[in-house]
């Protein structure tokens, strides 16, 4: 009798470890791909129009001309003084606007009587073109950095203040009533409900403030500045150096994109604070 034939035990396929919850995906995000593709297409069309010379180079330089202007700018020493001056004005103005506008907006949104007092003043000042106050600020504060920081502050403070107040005023009244029924005090409600619920409004206000602050930096440096990217663009425009003007414009735009990206990271960090709906 033949011995039984030994059969191999069935092998199981190796287990693939499941992706951990919260682990970053290695797949490229669609918005990044679409955004990059859009930028590449726009730059390609811009270079094509510039190469066909639909408009002369002094009117519409191409991306290659702008790159050459960047090389020319960063080969000189003065560009670093310009970047340092504009960066200081932008940073100081935004920080002061946040330190003043954020708590003031939260207080206006939380205390109804204070909002009755402050709303007419805020509406009046917000409706006033703050750029028109530039001559007054130069007369009051001088032609130095103080007046320019004040212009940036005035441009940035109102988006922060108004959005912070709106965030508190748009809280769900039912949630506040339930919290009070359970004996929560004003400070506890403000810390655990009002402030977390206002985070999206606050971040939106900061995003708007970044754009307004960059406008303030440019406008402030048109008024007798010794250094700054805005002054650089103004001088280049007077000398018909259009590619240098575009280079300065890209410096402002990239600064705004970077700051907005940082604010998005901050918003994602505080996303757990948002109340579930």
Least confident of 115-119, 168-172, 250-254: 168-172
For range 21-46, the mean pLDDT: 74
Residue 217, pLDDT score: 94
Structure confidence by residue, pLDDT tens digits, 192-204: 777 778 888 999 9
For range 31-48, the mean pLDDT: 86
The pTM of the full predicted model, rounded to 2 decimals, is: 0.81
pLDDT band at 276 (very low <50, low <70, confident <90, very high): low
Whether 22 shows a pLDDT value over 50: the answer reads no
Share of the chain above pLDDT 90, in %: 43
For range 261-270, the mean pLDDT: 82
**Strands (DSSP E) along the chain, which ranges?**
none
Structure confidence by residue, pLDDT tens digits, 206-233: 999 999 999 999 999 988 778 899 999 9
Residue 15, pLDDT score: 53
pLDDT band at 273 (very low <50, low <70, confident <90, very high): low
Structure confidence by residue, pLDDT tens digits, 139-162: 898 888 899 999 999 999 999 999
Structure confidence by residue, pLDDT tens digits, 91-144: 999 999 999 999 999 999 888 899 999 999 999 989 888 888 888 888 898 888
For range 57-77, the mean pLDDT: 89
pLDDT band at 249 (very low <50, low <70, confident <90, very high): very high
Q: How is residue 240 written in tokens?
A: 């018909």
Residue 9, pLDDT score: 45
Average pLDDT across the chain, whole number: 83
Least confident of 12-21, 55-64, 74-83, 129-138: 12-21
pLDDT band at 27 (very low <50, low <70, confident <90, very high): low
pLDDT band at 18 (very low <50, low <70, confident <90, very high): very low
DSSP string, the chain: -PPPPP-PPPPPPPPPPPPPTTPPPSSPPHHHHHHHHHHHHHHHHHHHHHHHTSS-TTTS--HHHHHHHHHHHHTSSHHHHHHHHHHHHHHHHHHHHHHHHHHHHHHHHH-HHHHHHHHHHHHHHHHS-GGGGHHHHHHHH-SSHHHHHHHHHHHHHHHHHHHHHHHHHTS-HHHHHHHHHTT--HHHHIIIIIHHHTHHHHHHHHHHHHHHHHHHHHHHTTTT-SS-HHHHHHHHHHTT-HHHHHHHHHHHHHHHHHHHHHHHHHHHHTGGGSPP-
Structural domains of the chain sorted by starting position, each given as residue range(s) with its CATH number in brackets: 62-273 (1.10.3720.10)
pLDDT band at 23 (very low <50, low <70, confident <90, very high): very low
Whether 256 shows a pLDDT value over 50: the answer reads yes
């Amino acid at each position: 009798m033949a011995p039984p034939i030994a059969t191999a035990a069935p092998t199981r396929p190796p287990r693939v470890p499941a992706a951990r919850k919260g682990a970053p995906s290695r797949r490229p995000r669609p918005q990044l791909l679409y955004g990059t593709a859009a930028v590449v297409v726009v730059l390609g069309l811009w270079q094509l129009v510039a190469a066909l010379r639909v408009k002369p180079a002094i009117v519409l330089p191409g991306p290659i001309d702008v790159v050459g202007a960047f090389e020319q700018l960063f080969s000189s020493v003065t560009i670093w003084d310009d970047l340092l001056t504009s960066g200081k004005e932008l940073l100081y103005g935004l920080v002061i606007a946040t330190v003043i506008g954020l708590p003031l907006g939260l207080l206006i949104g939380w205390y109804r009587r204070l909002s009755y007092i402050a709303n007419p003043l805020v509406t009046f000042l917000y409706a006033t073109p703050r750029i028109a106050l530039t001559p007054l600020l130069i007369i009051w504060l001088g032609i130095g950095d103080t007046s320019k920081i004040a212009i940036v502050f005035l441009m940035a403070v109102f988006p922060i203040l108004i959005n912070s107040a709106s965030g508190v005023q748009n809280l769900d009244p039912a949630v506040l009533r339930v919290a009070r029924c359970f004996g929560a005090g004003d400070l506890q409600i403000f810390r655990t409900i009002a402030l977390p619920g206002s985070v999206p409004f606050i971040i939106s206000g900061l995003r708007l403030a970044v754009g307004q602050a960059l406008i303030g930096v440019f406008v402030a440096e048109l008024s007798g500045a010794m250094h700054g990217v805005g002054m650089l663009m103004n001088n280049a425009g007077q000398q018909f150096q259009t590619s240098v003007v575009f280079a300065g414009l890209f410096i402002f735009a990239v600064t705004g994109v970077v700051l907005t990206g940082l604010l998005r990271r901050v918003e994602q960090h505080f996303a757990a604070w948002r109340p579930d709906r």
